[in-house]
């Protein structure tokens, strides 16, 4: 399929609507992307034809559901280029993936005096689970700061990493700033001191190719709903050797091989970490989203989104009183800003009435807001179906907001 934005938009029924009498300009893709018909139909087809529980029944429907669920796992493996499906654990989303690692790996491995290093641009979901782990174990949380452009201060990494560092948690593509972090270099340095690395890839998967073997990360977490799939399903990738030695996160059905009242033998990977009936339809929708995304050249998607971002940045810079928050040299898909004299929440309401959907707030990254000295920002975030028309709607609405508050 060639990269034709009009043809792509035609596959997203939700984009073809009016909001408050204006055509919808959906620019809140970092919160969640819309879903193409292929994904919606895959979920519907599963419920209409194949719905049954997985890994249990011998009947035809259960076999079809199991086959579809496991086929989705293989698609996720291929997306991330993991070695084996044994390394692909289905979870509710990135947040649950990180919590799984913090609880299972972290509780077993960390001791008082150990250190966890995160960065100043992490989402709350890559901060709070580690704080909770520190409270349980007596470990210490340290933070790699960010500079005024919204880039990690990599020069401070060697001094923050030491023999006590057990884990480094770093976001691949920042949801608040759009910064793309040099995770491969961070992983290399972290491994040199014996630390494991978890990469928060919630934002990355829809915008760049991911290769966990090339990165050599120990854990990679991402969510389907930010890459055109459904909500409530995501993946934890972890190296098989790590998953092998990690205790289960939750107990229940499907994660066991044998249960007696005396002892329980856990199931093999990855099922050891998938207690209970999983989100089968979600996994199938995730697989459909990967297939759909795979019909495009990721380089073309990235180039299209980069053109939009460049256009948005140059138009934003022409607006007096507009301050960009996050101007990293290497960034993608996110335009975060404030406007003098107009609070982001007022802008959010005004833009909404113009049919423009953006996020106004702290983007679940309050430390980033504190770093830049703002209570909140307006964030427009782009996906492969956005066009210059969406930017026209955004910037016209911003001009109207300025006129209103003049």
Partner 1 sequence: MPCSRPWNGRRPCLHEGEANVFDLKDLYQQVIVDHNKHPRNFGRLEDASHEAEGYNPLCGDRLHVYLKIDDQGRIEDVRFEGEGCAISMASASLMTEALKGRTLQEFRSLFEGFHALVTSSGDGADDEAGLGKLAVLGGVRAFPSRIKCATLCWHTMKNAIERSGVARTE
Q: Which of 21, 320, 329, 373 binds partner 1 (CB under 8 A)?
A: 21
Q: Which of 55, 231, 343, 387 binds partner 1 (CB under 8 A)?
A: 343
**What residues does 338 pair with on adjacent strands?**
323
Rg (alpha carbons) of the chain, rounded to whole number: 22
Question: Counting contacts by CB under 8 A, is residue 341 touching partner 1?
Answer: yes
Q: What is the per-residue DSSP string for 282-321?
A: HHHHHHHHHHHHHTS-HHHHHHHHHHHHHHHHHHHHTSTT
> For residue 103, what is the DSSP state?
I
Query: Stretches 49-57, 63-71, 105-113, 350-358: which one binds partner 1 (CB under 8 A)?
Result: 350-358
Question: Counting contacts by CB under 8 A, is residue 17 touching partner 1?
Answer: no
Question: Counting contacts by CB under 8 A, is residue 25 touching partner 1?
Answer: no
Q: Are 117 and 259 in contact (CB under 8 A)?
A: no
Question: Counting contacts by CB under 8 A, is residue 140 touching partner 1?
Answer: no
Question: Counting contacts by CB under 8 A, is residue 350 touching partner 1?
Answer: yes
Report the distance separating Cα 99 and Cα 131, nearest Å.
11
Q: Which of 17, 147, 310, 349 binds partner 1 (CB under 8 A)?
A: 349
Query: Closest approach of Cβ 322 to partner 1, in Å?
Result: 17
Question: Counting contacts by CB under 8 A, is residue 373 touching partner 1?
Answer: no
Query: Stretches 114-122, 194-202, 298-306, 341-349: which one binds partner 1 (CB under 8 A)?
Result: 341-349
Q: Given phi > 0 = left and psi -120 to 50 = alpha, else beta, which region is 292? A: alpha
Question: Counting contacts by CB under 8 A, is residue 365 touching partner 1?
Answer: no
Question: Counting contacts by CB under 8 A, is residue 325 touching partner 1?
Answer: no
Q: Are 161 and 144 in contact (CB under 8 A)?
A: no
Q: Are 81 and 211 in contact (CB under 8 A)?
A: yes
Q: Which is nearer to partner 1, 52 or 374 (CB)?
A: 374
Query: Closest approach of Cβ 392 to partner 1, in Å?
Result: 16
Query: Closest approach of Cβ 348 to partner 1, in Å?
Result: 8
Question: Counting contacts by CB under 8 A, is residue 403 touching partner 1?
Answer: yes
Q: Are 88 and 114 in contact (CB under 8 A)?
A: no
Query: Closest approach of Cβ 374 to partner 1, in Å?
Result: 9
Report the distance separating Cα 358 and Cα 379, nearest Å.
6
- For 385, residues 6+ apart whose C-beta sits below 8 A from its C-beta are 5, 8, 9, 12, 15, 26, 34
Q: Which of 129, 285, 361, 367 binds partner 1 (CB under 8 A)?
A: 361
Q: Are 187 and 211 in contact (CB under 8 A)?
A: no
Q: Is 217 a catalytic residue?
A: no
Q: Which of 76, 127, 376, 393 binds partner 1 (CB under 8 A)?
A: 376
Query: Closest approach of Cβ 337 to partner 1, in Å?
Result: 16
Q: Which of 138, 276, 294, 375 binds partner 1 (CB under 8 A)?
A: 375
Question: Counting contacts by CB under 8 A, is residue 342 touching partner 1?
Answer: yes
Question: Counting contacts by CB under 8 A, is residue 320 touching partner 1?
Answer: no
CB atoms within 10 A of CB 255: 19
Q: Which of 70, 211, 254, 346 binds partner 1 (CB under 8 A)?
A: 346
- For 370, residues 6+ apart whose C-beta sits below 8 A from its C-beta are none
CA 194 and chain centroid, separation: 26
Q: Are 290 and 282 in contact (CB under 8 A)?
A: no
**Which residues bind to partner 1, rule: CB under 8 A?**
18, 20-22, 341-346, 349-350, 353-354, 361-362, 369, 375-376, 400, 403-406
Q: Which residues are catalytic?
A: 364
């Amino acid at each position: 399929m060639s990269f034709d934005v009009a043809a792509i938009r035609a596959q997203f029924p939700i984009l073809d609507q009016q909001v408050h009498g204006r055509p919808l300009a959906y620019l809140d893709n970092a919160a969640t992307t819309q879903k193409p018909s292929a994904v919606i139909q895959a979920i519907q087809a599963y419920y209409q034809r194949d719905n049954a529980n997985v890994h249990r029944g011998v009947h035809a429907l259960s076999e079809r559901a199991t086959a579809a669920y496991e086929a989705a796992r293989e698609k996720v493996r291929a997306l991330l280029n993991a070695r084996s499906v044994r390394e692909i654990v289905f979870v509710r989303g990135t947040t649950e993936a990180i919590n799984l690692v913090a609880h299972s790996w972290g509780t077993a491995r960390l001791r008082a005096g150990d250190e966890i290093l995160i960065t100043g641009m992490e989402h709350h979901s890559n901060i709070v689970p580690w704080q909770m782990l520190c409270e349980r174990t007596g470990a210490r949380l340290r933070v790699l700061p960010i500079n005024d452009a919204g880039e990690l201060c990599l020069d401070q990494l060697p001094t923050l990493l030491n023999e006590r560092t057990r884990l480094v948690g770093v976001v691949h593509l920042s949801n608040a700033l759009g910064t793309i972090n040099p995770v491969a270099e961070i992983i290399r340095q972290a491994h040199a001191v014996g630390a494991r690395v978890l990469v928060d890839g919630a934002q990355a998967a829809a915008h760049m190719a991911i290769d966990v073997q090339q990165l050599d990360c120990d854990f990679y977490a991402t969510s389907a709903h930010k890459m055109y799939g459904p909500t409530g399903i995501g993946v934890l990738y972890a190296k098989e050797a790590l998953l092998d030695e990690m205790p289960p996160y939750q107990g229940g059905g499907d994660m066991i091989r044998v249960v007696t009242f005396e002892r329980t033998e856990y199931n093999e990977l990855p099922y050891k970490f998938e207690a209970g009936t999983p989100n089968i339809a979600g996994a199938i929708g995730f697989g459909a989203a990967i297939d759909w995304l795979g019909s495009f050249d990721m380089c073309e998607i990235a180039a299209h989104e980069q053109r939009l971002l460049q256009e948005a940045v140059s138009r934003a810079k022409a607006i007096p009183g507009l301050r960009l928050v996050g101007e990293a040299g290497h960034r993608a898909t996110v335009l975060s800003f404030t406007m003098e004299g107009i609070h982001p929440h007022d802008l959010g309401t005004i833009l909404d009435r113009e049919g423009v959907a953006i996020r106004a707030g702290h983007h679940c990254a309050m430390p980033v807001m504190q770093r830049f000295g703002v209570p909140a920002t307006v964030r427009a975030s782009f996906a492969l179906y956005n066009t210059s028309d969406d930017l026209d709607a955004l910037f016209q609405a911003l001009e109207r907001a300025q006129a209103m508050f003049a």
